[in-house]
Amino acid sequence: MGYRVRQFLAALTARLSPTERALVGQLLGPGELRLFECMPRFDQRHCLDVYHTLVDGGYTDPLLLRAALIHDCGKVDDAGRAIPLLYYGLFVIAKRFAPALYCWAARDGRGLLWPFAVHAAHDERGALLAAAAGSPAELVAILRDYGARRATAQTAALLWADAQH
């Protein structure tokens, strides 16, 4: 519980330094940068934290590092709406204590349930968005494999780094 409270507080106070923004601009292609910029600040901060964890862990594959920076871009819907932060607590509770309710809400996806549908599909959406943004096929494959939890060296690294945050 304490971990989730700290996560929530970190999301509320998320900031990106000008140096980090410049780094993102250098690493991502123009379409990928638009995907990054469409994410709310707390998701941008999370993606940067995942990126930094990979770099600190010795990972140097540029496509893996770029994938880390946009791996949650699918959490923004087609209308440009980001999942409101308070829903993340609902996702955690529902997935843990009422997984059937989470699945039902994700399938329904209407009205106040739209964030459940976006959240449940965000991995595949992210891969599709990256492809549409002009990302290299290899980067899109990392995102697809990550979303499908296919075991590759890149997805293992991304899962490891993501779990730290």
pLDDT for residue 6: 76
Please tell me what DSSP assigns to residue 152.
-
pLDDT for residue 13: 75
CA pair distance 68, 92, nearest whole angstrom: 22
> Alpha helices, DSSP H only, in the chain?
2-12, 18-27, 30-38, 41-56, 62-70, 85-97, 99-108, 114-132, 137-148, 153-163
Domain that holds residue 101: 2-163
* Counted domains in the chain: 1
Q: Which residue has the tokens 């140097």?
A: 60
- Residues lower than pLDDT 50 in the chain: none
Q: Tell me: the pLDDT tens digits for 69-110?
A: 999 999 999 999 999 998 998 999 999 999 999 999 999 999
Q: How many CB atoms lie within 10 A of CB 77?
A: 17
